[in-house]
Amino acid sequence: MEIMAANSWGQRFVITSFGESHGPAIGVVVDGCPAGVPFDMALLQANLERRRPGQHGDPSRVVSARAETDEPEILSGVFEGKTLGTPIAIVVQNRDARSADYDSLKSAPRPGHADDVWKQKFGHVDFRGGGRASGRETLARVLGGSVAQMYLLAVSPSTRVVARALQIGPLPIEGEWPTAQVLEMLTQAQREGLSYGGQVEVRVGSPPISLGQPVFNKLKADLASALMGIGAVTAVELGAGVEAARAEGSEFHWRSISDQYGGIRGGLSTGEDIVLRLTFKPTATVLHQARSGRHDPCIIPRALPVVEAMVNLVLADHFLWRLGDRV
Q: What is the pLDDT of residue 255?
A: 74
Q: What is the pLDDT of residue 65?
A: 55
Q: What is the pLDDT of residue 21?
A: 87
Q: What is the pLDDT of residue 294?
A: 66
Q: What percent of the chain has pLDDT over 70?
A: 88
Q: What is the pLDDT of residue 195?
A: 93
Q: What is the pLDDT of residue 112?
A: 81
Q: What is the pLDDT of residue 73?
A: 97
Q: What is the pLDDT of residue 159?
A: 98
> pLDDT tens-digit profile of 216-263?
999 999 999 999 999 999 999 999 999 999 999 988 998 766 789 999
Kindly list the structural domains of the chain, giving each domain's residue range(s) and its CATH number in brackets, ordered by start: 8-322 (3.60.150.10)
Q: What is the pLDDT of residue 289?
A: 72
Q: What is the pLDDT of residue 97?
A: 64
Q: What is the mean pLDDT of residues 153-157?
A: 98
Q: What is the pLDDT of residue 129?
A: 74
Q: Identify the band that residue 60 occupies on the pLDDT scale cut at 50, 70 and 90.
A: very low
Per residue in 66-80, is it b (16+ CB within 10 Å) or e — as a string?
Answer: bebebebeeeebbee
What is the spatial distance between Cα 84 and Cα 81, in angstroms, rounded to a whole number? 10
Q: What is the pLDDT of residue 66?
A: 54
Mean of the per-residue pLDDT values for the chain?
A: 89
Q: What is the mean pLDDT of residues 112-120?
A: 86
Of these ranges, 110-124, 176-190, 225-239, the one predicted with the greatest mean pLDDT is 225-239
Q: What is the mean pLDDT of residues 143-149?
A: 98
